[in-house]
Structure 1
């Protein structure tokens, strides 16, 4: 039986569908991140703090950091349970954990994330309102939470692999920004073919720096650090602006 760590926790079950798998019939990383995102969205709707609930106060959620460990990728048709819960505050940042379970509550994937609230008029960081801070009393104890996504990347020195993209209409989310799952998907595209075909992501850290909009021309660059570790960045062409950075580990 599922073990819930907080009354704020949200859980939903899914079956891995045919359009979510790779050539090995395993769910892809982008597909699983979309399920995490869906669970988080349903959770904030349930708690009354979704972006639509916050519109009147001119504030909105912004994802800053994500750390993920992958123990096993679920296969086609496999029933999985996606669980998510807000886990705390730190100055102006909020934290959220995700876990994906297989049959018999086998832990397949775990992920922690950091968020902030942005003033939608000034485009600056906004303080966390009191009615959101009030949730802290119901959040799980620290020992039941994942480590917060605090990491540093090595300096990006050279691109061993690169790939270009244009942001199309159907790449946008409900804020008319490039969907944050595509940041990760596109950074993982610029990889050696044998890694994509024969290996899988075992872990990943992602730092989101800036938003991207319709018709932006982007490119992703990947630097090989060693045979199992790669450094990625997503750039905006013309401005040479870094939109996101990531480090991936493969096995």
Structure 2
């Protein structure tokens, strides 16, 4: 496999019944899993696989993610996910994505930021020293920035969840896609039928482990989507035991066109 192919990786997926939401379309939770799977496949070719990470005594943690979608494929259609790495910026490494439909048109963009941690001490490692990045990165951007989402302010509680076995990833932490699922499960079902998601951004602030109880809260600083039928809403998750903020997220909605 050529070096150029390794720098830019793509996977094509059929939208099956396992991936769609009750409206028959690929939803946020589904697309995040396809993005994760594509990144995983690419990482294996670059020496970032599970066994490689264990041998090197480190693991990567996702710190921020931003996704924008202009349309959501329906069951039976296909989606192509393209991904590449960008050169490190300080301790952070960025992985970016394009999402394309059956015609090759871009229907989505995603940007993610990662930190390398020592598996034993959990200390952040200097990412620029870990790889010959010029050999595996592309110096191009899809135009998205992973922004910081504020934590402070007044919030109202929506739902509570307990971390289960099926929520964990191979590092024994909650899989990043599960946070989005918790938020979606906290939103009234009628809104899912009348609104389409335009963008999703999340900041991961602390680890979540098996048995933790997590409350999902919605910001009170702006009208909620059930009041205005569209707009931007900010969420956060906190551990019930110590009120530690685990994540913040911002979702932008638009009314589904008739």
TM-score between the two structures when normalised by the length of structure 1: 0.90
Report the alpha carbon displacement of residue 240 of structure 1 after superposing the two structures with TM.
Answer: 0.8
2:252 aligned partner:
249
Does the residue aligned with 2:178 lie in a helix, a strand or coil? helix
Matches within 5 A, 1:158-173: 158-159=155-156, 161-173=157-169
Identify the residue that residue 136 of structure 1 maps to in structure 2: 134
Q: Any conservation in 2 of the 1:156–1:231 contact (CA below 8 Å)?
A: no
Deviations 1:177-224 (A, max 9, x none): 111100111123222433222112101110001111111111111125
RMSD: 1.9
Go from structure 1 to structure 2 and tell me whether the alpha carbon gap of 1:197 and 1:223 turns closer, same or farther (over 3 Å shift): farther
Structure 1 residue 73, shift from structure 2 partner: 0.5
Cα deviation, residue 75, structure 1:
0.4
Distance in 2 between residues matched to 1:156 and 1:31, nearest whole Å: 30
Give the deviation of 1:89 after TM superposition.
0.9
User: How far has the Cα of 1:129 moved from its partner?
Assistant: 5.8
Give the counterpart of 1:150 among 147, 150, 169: 147
Is contact 1:6–1:138 with CA below 8 Å preserved after alignment?
no
What is the aligned counterpart of 2:240 among 218, 237, 240? 237
Asked if 1 retains the 8 angstrom alpha-carbon contact of 2:149 and 2:248, the reply is no
Whether the aligned pair in 2 keeps the contact of 1:6 and 1:85 (CA below 8 Å) is no
Task: Report the Cα offset of residue 116 of structure 1.
Answer: 0.4
Quick check: 1:194 aligned with 2:193?
A: no
In the other structure, the counterpart of 2:54 is: 55
Residue ranges of structure 2 left out of the alignment (5+ in a row) = none
In 1, Cα distance between equivalents of 2:134 and 2:204: 25
Give the C-alpha shift of residue 10 in structure 1.
Answer: 1.1
